[in-house]
Structure 1
Amino acid sequence: MLMHGFFLAQAQLERERRIASVTSTVHRTADLVGAILAAHANDVRILAALMPVRNFAAGDDSARAGVIRIFSAFVEQKPVIAQLRYLDAAGWERVRVDGVDGKITVVPVDELQDKSDRYYFRNAIHLPPTEIYVSPVDLNVEHGVVDDPWNPMPRLARTIPGPDGRALGIVIVNIRADEMIREVDRGGRDGDGEIQWLNGDGYWLAGAPRDKLWGFMFGRDTTMAKIRPTAWARIFANRGDGVTVGTDDGVTYIHRSVTPAAVLSETGSDEGAAADWKFVGTIPAVGLADLWTPRHIGFAVAGLVLLAALSLAWSRSVVARHRAEAREAAAAQELIMVERLASLGGLVAGVAHELNTPIGNAVTVASTIGERIKDFRAEAEAGPLRRASLDAFLSDVGDGAALMLRGLDRTARLIQQFKQVAVDQTSQQRRRFRIADTVQDVLGTLGPQFKHTAIRIESEVGTDALLDSYPGPLGQVVMNLVNNARVHAFAPGAAGVIRIAARSTAGNRIEITVADDGAGMPEEVRRRAFEPFFTTRLGEGGSGLGLSIVHNIVAGVLGGSVDIASEPGTGTIFTVSIPCVAPAEPESGRIYNVGS
């Protein structure tokens, strides 16, 4: 009986560890796939705004050569682009550049095709010029036959408006999805469970056996809805994040829904595109074989020794019980470390997403300036140079250089902020710092996670106090409290405000508050908020570790206290009070359970 209880406890700890690990992997994979898509959406925006492209769309056939040079430069610099086209308002290809195995091919005029009946043209041509069209991800088809080997790709498009606001045509880019699929496969290889990518209809796009992939392209009903109906019903019903126990197969599913257009811009549209993508991690039930590892053999031996000791004397059972508690605390500490690294992994994905835009702008502008210089040199060599041409050239180059400087300056600042946060997060080095700098660095790296939400972050640091403490753990506290508000205080898509404030208080202390105007907590939830693994959102992305880590760090490392004030419907206020000079020896290994 005792051994049975022991293994049940170990199985629960192992399950929680796997849930934390796979949740991190699912979120990181979804963020990276979204970042790849966003980078290429930025290419489409820039291409549609370039003057030669706009002139060609307006009917200036002399601009066609310039459009071909620009398109060819893009495809050459970005091998992931399979095809780059301009289609007129009637759906005819006017310029098409293909990239296959590093070879750039400009399709001759007499081989350009009518695409007016293709779904992507019909859906994209009616969108306003502020929006990006995102097609479903499917396999490329040539002459009615699916390419073999498979060539999966989404298509991104943007309209070019005329003087009356109606579309003159569209710029459309076909993106090879190989890099996205590699991120999904890498997540499955490196984590504690398989990672799968499904479309909104439940068809597998990656992370499944070949005979289950791309069923809709071959008329096969190989969907999760057909094969795992109960699990799919629960996953499909949840448009956010979550943990679902599939009662039809006993597997735990960690899932995240991503609307493709939502990762592109605040004004993006998924009209005509597939429904949300589903990134799903699978965790089989934990059995005895999973526990019989070198790490757990010691646990089993200790349990047998305990059982033998009980037959000799009850007093020895007390010692064994304390040892079991120590082992459980060590396992819990391991889970906490997984959660801390998961938050850093989320920052990496967010920062990578943010860097794509300014770096992509810089590359694109540099390429465009190079083409502009070629055109200007040819004009100068052809004869007398007009003043208007010189002014236009200087204006274009000046605007391009200014755009590059702004983008690269933004990149440098973001990298510096993330570098400081990353160094602090992966260590507990003590140093002197100002609270305002730590708050600014953390908020700078958290920004990408809020970019496509209606939640606003405000900060007011009313002190210039210098701390002799641990900036990494303190940054983790602020990060966890802000993310807790993002996940728990607001319903998906709801607007709200998270306010961060800091001030000096009596006794050489600092008080930090993180307040939101969200849903608030009932009293029974408030009392248990800091308990490890307690969460009200287990089915929607919560792991139950974030606030436990906050209490551990504040009380054990920073030598302070943390309190909660909350009522349903009035929001929540977390108040952290810490000394300006941290204790000499932090109790960083201690696990706190403050539930009542």
Structure 2
Amino acid sequence: MNNTSGNNDQRSIFYRYFFTYALLFGGFAALFFLPYLRIRIDEFTSNIELQEKNKIAVQYRSLLDDIAFVVTDIMFLSHEEHMSEYVNKPNIQDKTALSHEFSNLMIQKSFYDQIRYIDRNGMERLRMKMNKDGKPYLVKEDALQSKADQEFFIHTIHLKPYEVYLSPLDMNEENGKIELPLKPIIRIATPIPDKDGSVKGILVLNLNAGYALRKYLEGDGSRQGNSLLVNRSGYYLLHPDPTRTWSFINDGSSRKTFREDFPEAHKKIWAEKNGQFQNEEGLFTFQTLHPLTRIKEVYRALNLPLDSLPIFGESQDYLFKVISHVPESRIQEGIRRIYGRLGALFSAVVILLLFLARSVAKTLTYRRLDEIKLKLSEEELRKANVTKDKFISLLAHDLKNPLSSIMGFAEVLQSKDEAFSEEQRRSFAKVIRYSSRSMVELIDDVLDWWNAQSGTLTVQAEDFDVKELVEAVLILPSGQAEKKDIKLVTRIDEGLHAYADPKMIATVIRNLVSNAIKFSFRENEVIISAEPINNHILISIQDFGVGISQSNQKKLFQVGHKFYTKGTENESGTGIGLILSKEFLEKNNSAIEVISAENKGTTFRFRLPASEIENT
């Protein structure tokens, strides 16, 4: 009956501690993860917005640059020597040379479909055309056509020299029929005068807009947004689905336009010159493309009069919208991936924290049961109470700083995350991560110390290689040393083997090395050495830091006299590691020694039995 009652009391105590610490640790985890989740989602959406803006800017400039090339090319050809000679006095030599000029230009600039010279009566006199294999050829004279009734000829023949006609986007026609496969064409034309200044004909460059737009689409390396080009009427001039493109030429009644797909977005986009907005249909980034904008820049560069630009070029037919659309489903998919990754991480952390809460609960349960048993003796009770008070005092004091840092920076990020830059948020996250790691290391040390005090910790001695153990232990404090440019130097011969509990010895070395780094000056050394002496291995950790006074050396390993000293860069020094090291060495039949002088440095050393392998 008594055993049953005792077991029930033990379970009751355990569950009370377990649920208390589980809620406490879970609260800390949520306090960190919720702001971090918000930060990651904001980063994701901000990155998409920035990528889309950059993509639109590059694509917009690329299209304008193609137009600039065409204007400079037509100006060059219109004033080329053979052109002038041919216009003033047509002859086979200049015609041949001029056809070579046309051909070379079409080879260099793959986006030209045709280059033509048409006389003042509208008759083609020279036409170079690109074949299906992408090679230019000279059209035979009997295949030349009259273009007198074409709008581009009617407009251009009445212009003055240096004036340029820019046609709306249209399909190429041959002998009055739309050429197949479809070729979207923009025509740039300029009058060609003779030596007396009289217009004798026009030079026409057919820009294959389909080629330029395909290059624009192929250059879109974004995996987020769909690249679109839309005219004033809402028709797609460019769409990832080829069947949606050129619908106003093929079958406008059977295909949806941008206006029909996104009516609200269409109104907003055409109401503004450029911008970015998000609605329930997704993220839209857009820029107005006006070819005359780029042509004016070219005119200025060539010192040509701006009033020579044709007035009909200001028509709305010349306005296009370069658009990138990220569907809302794609944005939500990315956010769901973030939720999934962080959710999995949070679940793993919660599981680890539950194990930690279970460990703490078990430890505290055993302590509580020990306290109950110690009530039988006043002296034993007093000692138990002193141990308990000291333990709680150590835990509360040493957890205060990292927990305050975590809570403080988490609250700042939660309440004002939009006010900070990416670099500042990363800096805050780094502080939170470092404080969390310090807290976990402290809890590990405190739990190990308490296990040692409660008698639940057993020594599992075995043979181990000293050098291998030291090198493995130094991985963790190496980051701490790098921050202060401190070099960790090992002076350990190969083949040194000791006989002790390797986990306990690893904890001792880790604490002593961490302590040495903490109290060393920047750009210094910490030396870890081992040497065989009289069937023992002497292990030393030496630093050249602030040192320890004689009075403080006496307090180093006493729980009731623990003192606090800041490191050389204001690192906190708890002292629990030294107490734990002393406990562990004593359980391995060893003792810790201190050799120190103020402002000269400190050496901690201890001896371990050499193993049978070492003795052999």
Higher helix proportion (structure 1 or 2): 2
TM-score by length of 2: 0.47
Q: TM-score, normalised by structure 1?
A: 0.48
